[in-house]
Every structure is written in C-alpha cells, then in structure tokens.
Amino acid sequence: MTFLRGLTAFLAAALFMAAGVQLTARAAWSLCGAGRTNLEELRALPTTFHRVTAEDLQKVRIHHVSEWPADKPRVFHESPQLAARVAAGELPPLEQRLPEEPLVITPPDQCGPYGGDWVRCDTDTTRYITHRIGYEEPVRFDPFGRDILPNVLKKWEVADDGRTVTLYMRRGIRWSDGAPHTADDYVFWRNDLLLDPNVTTTLADEFKPGGKPFELEKIDDYTIRLRFAAPNGLFIAHVAGGAYHGCPSHYLKRFHPKYADKAELNRLVVKYGVAGPYQLLDRQKAFWVNSELPQLDAWVLNEEYVPGKPTVFVRNPYYWKVDPQGNQLPYLDRIVCYVVSDKQTLYLKAMKGDLSLATKLELPYYPLLMEKSLLSHKPGSLITPFRVLHWFGPDCPRLIPNLNHPDPVKNALFNDLRFRKALSLAINRHEINEVQFLGLGRERQNTPTSRSPFYSEHAENAYTQYDPVGANALLDELGLTQRDADGYRRRSDGQTLVVDINSCPLTGYDDALHLVSRFWREVGIKSDLRIQAYELWRERYWAGLHDIYAWFYGGEQNPLIGDSPLPANRYDWQARLWGLWYETKGEKGEKPVPEMVKAMEIWRSIGQVVDPAEQIRRCRQVLDMRADNVWEIGLVSDAPLVTVVQDSFLNVPETAYYDWYSRGPGNTAPECYAIKKE
C-alpha cells in the first residue's frame, strides 16, 4: 500500500509538472507573437533574399563625389546647431571654417534635412566608429570596394612606372580644433612616426619597395611628392585601405620626445599611468581613446568612454565637405552608441526598430528580422518601421593549415598536398550551408566572388565537392591506415592523428567549424574545435603552435590589400617561417617549397606594375595556385551581410561592400545620411 501511494503521488506530481510546462509553453508562444505572421506576405516582401550580382551593382543608387564648380557662387549653409554657436561667438563664421576647395558629396536620395541622432548599439564602440565611420583617409574606396575616390586629396599623379607619386591636397581643410591641415602633417608622419623605430617597429612593404623607405618632398603647403626606390603600383590602394591615418602634427608634437619638454612629458607619463614617453605618444595618437585628438572626421568623440554611459560623437564644426546645394555636412547632429555586454540585447533592439542603422548582423537572426520588419509596417505596430538590406562582404572563416608546424609528423602531413586535398574533400559544404547559413550561401573556396574583377571560377570550385571516399583513399595512400581503439587513424609514430581547429570568439561561425571537425572525424582524423580567448589564441598562432587556424577571409573584392593570400610576414598564421623569409627577402626564416616560392615571386611582382589589368591577371594566377595547392580551405561564403535601417533613415544604399579594409559603412559616405522629418 505504501508503495502504491508513493507511485500515485509521483505520477500525480509528474502530470502536474507536465501540465505546467504545457501551459507555460503555450503562454510563451502566445505572448511572443510567433506564428502570427502571414508567410505569403513575408515571401512577397521586396527585401526577400536576392544574391547581389555584378549587374545589380550598376543599378544601386550611391553617393557621388565632385568638386565645387569654379563658376558657382560660394554660398554655403550650416546646421542650426552650429549657426547658434556662431551667433553666440563660440565659432567663427562658416566661410572661415570651410576650405577653399570643399569636396562635394551628392547623396543618393536627397539633400538633408539637418538634425537627429544616429542611434547605434554595440559591444565595442569608439574604435569601431572612428575606424569604420570616420573613414577620412587621403583617398577612399567607393561603396562597392572597387574604385578609389578623391577625398582629402583632390587628385594624385603616378609617374616613372610607379616610382613617383605626387599628392595634391585640398586647400584650406582644417582639423576639428580649427588648426590648418597642411603638407607639414605628412612630413611629420613620415619622419617622426613612420621612420622612428620607437614608434613604428616594422615598416610595411608599401612604404619600402626596393628595400628602402620612401622619400617625401614638400612642394608647397598643399602638395607633396613621394619617391620610391622601386615601382610601387599598389601604393594608392594601400592608402585607401588605411595605410595612412591623419596625423595632426601641431598636436602630436606636444607628446613626441623629439619636440616636447621632458619635464612636461614625465608629468603626463605619471598622469596617464603609462610606461614611458613613447607609450604616452601611442596613447595620445589613439583616435579611439583620446577625445582631445584633432580629427578630420564628420563627427568627433565628445568624451572618453565612461562605463554605463552611451558613447557620443558630435558634429565636427570644421568638416570640409558640402552637398551640391552648399549645405555643410554632416546632416546628422550626433552618433549615439549604447554599449551592451551581450549580443542578444543588440538584436532585441534591432528587432524593435530602435537602431537607426545596424550593419553585419548575424545570419541566424535573419528570419526573425525579416518577420519583425514585416510586422513593423502593419497599422498599429509598436515597432519602429525598418527594412532589411542585403550587403555583401567577408562572411565565412578561412581554414589555414600550419605549414610550419613544430611537430615534425604534423608538419610533414600538412605539407603533403594529398593531405590538404583530403581535408577539403571530407567537408560537406552543403550541410554547412544549410545549418550555419540558412541555405543562403554558396559552397566555394574563399576567393573573390563574381562581383569582383579578380574572380576566378577555377579558384572558386577547386576541391569543393563532398567526396569522403576520395578523402579516405588519399589518407590511405599517405600510409595512415592503422587505427586506434576509437577508430581514429594513427600517425607514422603510432600516436593518434589529432588535427584541431583553433578559433576565438571573434571568429564566429561555431556551428560551421564544429561540423568541419565532425566531417574530419568521419574520415578517421580526431578533431575538435578549440575556442580560446582572443589574447591566448593570438599568442598561439604568433608562436606557430596551432593546427588549423580559423579567421575571416578579407579579400572578397580586392585581395591586393588587407590579408595576403600567401605568407607575407613573421606573424603569418599559414607559415610563420616562410612569412619571415618573404618579409626579409630570404635573409631570415625558412625557404618555402618551390610552388610557394613561385607564387611569392608573382605576388611580389604585382606591386611592380601600375597597369590594373596586369595586376588583376597576376593576382588571379596566384589565387589559382593557392587553390590548386589547397594552402587554404574555404567552406561557404557569399551569404548576405544582414543590415537593418529605419525607414526614416535616408541616403543609405540598398547594398554595399562591407569589410575592414574598404571600411564599410564608411565607404557609403555616412556624412550624407539624414533622417526624414515627419
């Protein structure tokens, strides 16, 4: 009887709990609004996914740049916010703040109006905004990451087969503190920052073709001439990608040991708690830290980041661009960025329509964002109306075997083409596409897409078919036929063959990487995804201790800037010793295998020609060689980079290229973004 009573009580409790779970689930389903969306309406949305093609780019409305016509009256206007400061005597009149040669930005939609905030939300604020949105290099890429447009420079001339470059600055540009921007800023940058080993420890190749640092001649206050020891056909492209960031010499000289008072420097070293004078200089020229650093950007940091407060960027009163009607840009008063500790908060704000513009949102949220966008346009909706845009750019990790592995057995395997082919053929890219990319990507190697002039169909498709039988045959051919008790292949020394994927939280795409590990285990290679803290992960790959390195592919449009497709320096994740050999032109490191040496020779030669067509031809040759040798393994790419924008937010293109080197969304001219007035 006691047993029956206990059993009855247990069953009653279980039934009660099950009923409670059911009621809770039904209540949650009802409250979240799931299932209420008409799927046919959702499919009919104009933002239903369409992969952007090269032809589509010809139709997208984008901003245009031009010069103020010489015969047009110099009549300019400013925001009411700045006009009030002029009236109060806080600022000089607009005519004294604008340059003689302003850059004209023609917006894609309309001119103005003035006013309003760009509301953002992010886990990282100041560095992102000042690098991505404050894209005021001497020249900059267009919204598609292809053409190079005038910016701080009104023009440039390349002569002597790329050995001489003359730069013509806009006359009268001022820094955000009102000080003149002149050729002296470039002279200081070259002599006292770039060539001072206490400031710049390693000089990039674009500054020393032929092994010698470039010479810089000041022609006048707004003209400089650079001379290189060897042809430097890619210099302007590297400048557009961020090789030079404005250096206000009048400000930074106050912190440079060559110019500053030593006693004052020591006082500031103590004040800011840095190790010494050069560390102080590093701090003061860090545009994402120092709110006092003069800028050329449309908005400047209002104050240094304070935990718990939004980061605010305010209008630069000395900004040097106007629209065709003579209105000084930017139109927006401020950028307000709320710092959050988790991405979920960011996505909740995006789905409520609280963010003016949010770029590169994670693809798993795409269906919910599409549904909420539809709901936001229904009568009575509490969601601020917003649209979902499909931008494009790097959207998948690159898998790079360590070709200089310290383990001699692994090193021999990684350097055997058959092993690298087997790793690629063992991957079911279709499953990765469905699981990680909602079926919206393309199963391909990491190489420029058909939107890019560097596209190669051969490189795109090399060894991308799912062929576990072929992978197993190659592994058997390598002699990896013995198995351990768990069925994994044994190495030549009898140990279990382990090939791990090394990643960090910034890489993302964990589901895809876990699947790759599973596919390799299915052909007998023991593998796991190792996600490490960024600092540890970076130190391990710098030390060359990783097996397979996972990171973004950054050459989707222009592989000539940014991440090199081949080992290029001592910190290279693919082959650290080969990279050192390339960097030092054979003086240090380890000479690569013949195929890599040949590819490196072609790669180095690209910068020695100025003809874009020849640069593209040679680059494609390198990309094909990389694909044939499987020096890098791609998975799936060309999925949309999800972007949301409020309906009232104007002058944002329907699609644009977004990566670190073309500085999206800065390449879309955020200075002409505006908010429609009701």
Q: How many Cβ atoms from other residues are within 10 Å of residue 662's Cβ?
A: 29
Residue with tokens 């044994």: 490
Q: How many Cβ atoms from other residues are within 10 Å of residue 392's Cβ?
A: 26
- In this predicted model, which residue has the larger pLDDT, 47 or 492? 492
Confidence label for 452 from pLDDT (cuts 50, 70 and 90): very high
Average pLDDT, the chain: 90
Provide the b/e sequence for 300-314 (b: ≥16 CB within 10 Å).
Answer: bbeeebeeeebbbbb
Which of 200, 197, 210, 276 is CA-nearest to residue 244?
200
Report the pLDDT value the prediction gives residue 13, as an integer from 0 to 100.
62
Proportion of the chain above pLDDT 90, given as a percent:
73
pLDDT one-digit tens code per residue, 20-65:
656 655 554 455 555 555 555 545 555 456 778 888 888 999 999 9
Q: How many Cβ atoms from other residues are within 10 Å of residue 577's Cβ?
A: 18
Q: Which amino acid is it at 51?
A: R
Report the pLDDT value the prediction gives residue 398, as an integer from 0 to 100.
87
Report the pLDDT value the prediction gives residue 47, as an integer from 0 to 100.
46
pLDDT one-digit tens code per residue, 227-256:
999 999 999 999 998 888 779 999 999 999
Phi, psi at 174, each rounded to 5°: -120, 150
Integer-rounded Cα Rg, in Å, for the chain is 28
Report the pLDDT value the prediction gives residue 517, as an integer from 0 to 100.
97
pLDDT one-digit tens code per residue, 96-138:
999 999 999 999 999 999 999 999 988 765 566 677 788 999 9
Residue with tokens 């890098």: 632
Angle 576-583/594-606 helices, nearest 10 degrees?
40
Q: Is the pLDDT of residue 482 over 90?
A: yes
Q: Is the pLDDT of residue 551 over 90?
A: no
Report the pLDDT value the prediction gives residue 179, as an integer from 0 to 100.
97
How far the first Cα of the chain sits from its last, in Å, is 76
Report the C-alpha gap between 519 and 425 in whole angstroms.
10
**Tokens in use for 253?**
């000289």
Report the pLDDT value the prediction gives residue 503, as an integer from 0 to 100.
92
Q: Which domains does the chain have, with CATH numbers?
A: 397-637 (3.10.105.10)
Report the pLDDT value the prediction gives residue 30, as an integer from 0 to 100.
53
Q: Is the pLDDT of residue 563 over 80?
A: no
Q: Is the pLDDT of residue 599 over 60?
A: yes
The separation between CA 51 and the C-alpha centre of its own chain, rounded to angstroms, equals 20
Report the pLDDT value the prediction gives residue 204, as an integer from 0 to 100.
84
- In this predicted model, which residue has the larger pLDDT, 387 or 42? 387
Please check whether residue 546 is in contact with residue 576, taking contact to mean a CB–CB distance below 8 angstroms: no
Q: How many residues belong to the chain?
A: 678
Confidence label for 564 from pLDDT (cuts 50, 70 and 90): confident
Which of 622, 631, 630, 584 is CA-nearest to residue 602?
622
Q: What is the DSSP letter of 96?
A: H
Report the C-alpha gap between 546 and 531 in whole angstroms.
12
Q: Is the pLDDT of residue 2 over 70?
A: no
Report the C-alpha gap between 434 and 288 in whole angstroms.
38
Report the pLDDT value the prediction gives residue 29, as an integer from 0 to 100.
46
Which of 200, 185, 568, 653 is CA-nearest to residue 387?
653
Report the C-alpha gap between 436 and 432 in whole angstroms.
6
Question: Which H/E stretch holds residue 551?
Answer: strand 548-552
Q: Is the pLDDT of residue 89 over 90?
A: yes
Provide the b/e sequence for 489-519 (b: ≥16 CB within 10 Å).
Answer: bbbeeeebbebebbbbeebbbeebbbbbbbb
SS (H, E, C) 174-210: ECCCCCECCHHHHHHHHHHHHCCCCCCCCCCHHHCHH
Please check whether residue 295 is in contact with residue 134, taking contact to mean a CB–CB distance below 8 angstroms: yes
- Identify the three-state secondary structure at position 22: helix
The separation between CA 373 and the C-alpha centre of its own chain, rounded to angstroms, equals 26
Please check whether residue 359 is in contact with residue 673, taking contact to mean a CB–CB distance below 8 angstroms: no
| 649-650 vs 103-106, strand pairing mode | unpaired
pLDDT one-digit tens code per residue, 282-301:
999 887 778 899 999 999 98
Q: How many Cβ atoms from other residues are within 10 Å of residue 198's Cβ?
A: 15
Report the pLDDT value the prediction gives residue 669, as an integer from 0 to 100.
97
